[in-house]
Amino acid sequence: MIVIKYLWYYSFWLIVRIGLRLYYSKVKVTGLENIPKNTPIIFGSNHENAFIDALLITTSNTRFDHYLVRAGVFNNPIAKAFFNSLNLMPVYRAQDGVNPLEANKQIFRACFEALAKKYAVMLFPEGEHNMRRHKRILKKGISRIALGAVNFEGGAQEVSVVPVGVNYSDHMGFRSTVHIVFGEPIVVKKQEENAENYNKLTAQFTEALSQVHVSLDRNAYDGLDTIFFHDQKSHELINPDIINAAAGKLSDRTEEVNEIAEQKKKLEEKGLSFPFRPISSSELAVMVLLSPLALIGLMVNLPVLLPVYLFIKTRVKEAEFVASLKFGFSLLGFCIWWWHLGNWAYDYSSQWPVAAISVGLCFICLVSLNGFVRKWKRYQLTRLLSSDEKVKAMYRDFVDRVDEIRKNLF
């Protein structure tokens, strides 16, 4: 039975890994050497992007992971069976209408048993998902599981708690980049389970986690986010070490940072949206060259693109779910649709290379469509700047101030 479970888990792992490497233009993984071998591990990560966070972390290492996810996703019996087959376990919160300490006792025991077998457990100790890149107060669940595991009868002698940072260049964008950072493990050995030790471990892990993802000061967040990401390029990797160090240098310039946030807000009221960079002449030429491939990409892939777009547009209320649903539906939809297109190409040509090339061209045209749409949006905003001298002057002053602040940060 365990062999079948392993085969199913790693088959799904491989499919999702390939899909993610196509969905993102680059997935960089740093710190794999910090993952201990042949020892129980708890992965604790920041949580900015719903389900896709867990998929990225899981497919970036080869450990047999068990996951704690919010209990609400287990309401559907079909979804529950699917999630259980992939080692997902529900974790209950106060808003679920139950006493979380009592409801989670059985789940915590399952975590202790998994760790006793030297498996890995993954959870998101922030207790929420939010695309704002700032430091959060962590819940004590990760400390309760770590200390409970080393005190569990027949359990692990020690547990390594590994902080994981997931850093997106664009939380919702197709063919953007993501940088996953595994930090140095915190080794937890047997000690008394009491409030003092829970608080001590939680504080230690909070600090460790803040070092592996972009952790801006929440009291000056809007201004700091503007300074570092108002012109963020979707293909550029984010390095949390560099950003956090630079943000630290602005800790005594809060008033100036907040003024930048106000400038950005006024520009948004005039019609601009961020992140934004005016499109250059060379980029405009690329957009024109991409247009034929983009049109083909739209026509060929419309049977998948349209339903996904309409579902997200009409049914999804939280932006944090956009990338997860876009990836999940697209992975399934394109696999089915491109399989049919490949078969049609083979029926017409009787050659598998032709079928494979046809499917490859479908993907190339899809990427071209995405590149065209991104540049088209920038083109429209650049035209807005050109048509209004007042807005243009406001934007120029905004960029000059940000550049002046950035000058001595990096």
pLDDT score, position 101: 64
Quick one: 346 exposed, middle or buried, by C-beta within 10 A (0-12, 13-18, 19+)? Answer: middle
Q: Reply yes or no: is the peptide bond before residue 125 cis, omega within 30 of 0.
A: no
Chain mean position to CA 145? 24
How far is Cα 287 from Cα 299, in angstroms, rounded to an integer?
18
Q: Are 86 and 12 in contact (CB under 8 A)?
A: yes
Specify whether 166 is located in the same domain as 65: yes
**In whole numbers, what is the pLDDT of the chain averaged over residues?**
93
Would 401 be classed as within a structural domain? yes
Domain-located, residue 276: no
Please report whether residue 318 resides in a domain.
yes
- Is residue 103 over pLDDT 90? no
Q: pLDDT tens-digit profile of 342-361? A: 999 999 999 999 999 999 99
Question: 141-179 burial, b if ≥16 CB within 10 A, otherwise e?
Answer: bbbbbbbbbbebeebbeebbbbbbbbbbbbbbbbbbbbb
Q: Does residue 115 share a domain with residue 40? A: yes
- pTM recorded for the entire structure: 0.93
**What does the pLDDT read at residue 97?**
59
Is 326 among the domain residues? Answer: yes
Average pLDDT over residues 52-75: 86
Residues 354 and 399 in one domain: no
Helix axis angle, 221-229 to 240-248, nearest 10°? 130
Give the mean model confidence (pLDDT) for residues 299-326. Answer: 94
Q: Which domain holds residue 292?
A: 281-387
Is the separation of the CB atoms in 42 and 162 below 8 Å? yes
- What percentage of the chain reaches a pLDDT higher than 70? 97
In a domain, 275, yes or no: no
Residues 6+ apart with CB under 8 A from 319: 131, 171, 172
**What is the pLDDT at residue 379?**
98
What SS3 class is residue 329?
helix
As beta bridge partners, residue 89 has 68
Domains in the chain: how many in total? 3
Q: What does residue 385 show for φ and ψ, rounded to 5 degrees?
A: -60, -45
- Predicted confidence at residue 343, as pLDDT, reads 96
Q: Are residues 252 and 302 in the same domain?
A: no
**Does the residue 92 lie in any domain?**
yes
Q: What is the pLDDT of residue 128?
A: 82
Residues 239 and 266 in one domain: yes
Q: Could you tell me if residue 365 is inside a domain?
A: yes
Whether residue 372 is found in the same domain as residue 400 = no
Same domain (yes/no): 294, 194: no
Structural domain includes residue 355:
yes
Considering the domain architecture, whether residues 21 and 149 belong to the same structural domain is answered as yes
pLDDT given for residue 3 in this prediction: 83
- Fill in the amino acid letter for 81: A
**30-56 confidence digits (pLDDT tens):** 999 999 998 999 999 999 998 999 999
Are 261 and 286 members of one domain?
A: no
What average pLDDT does this structure show over 377-390?
96
- CATH label of the domain that carries residue 37: 3.40.1130.10
Please tell me whether residues 251 and 266 are part of one structural domain. Answer: yes
Q: Whole-angstrom Cα distance, residue 237 to residue 234?
A: 8
Q: Which is more confidently placed, 67 or 192?
A: 192
With a cut of 80, say whether residue 71 has pLDDT above it: no
CA atoms within 13 A on the CB side of 54: 24
Please report the pLDDT score of residue 38 as a whole number: 86
**Pair (158, 243) in one structural domain:** no
169 and 60 inside one domain: yes
Of the residues 175, 196, 215, the one at which a domain ends: 215
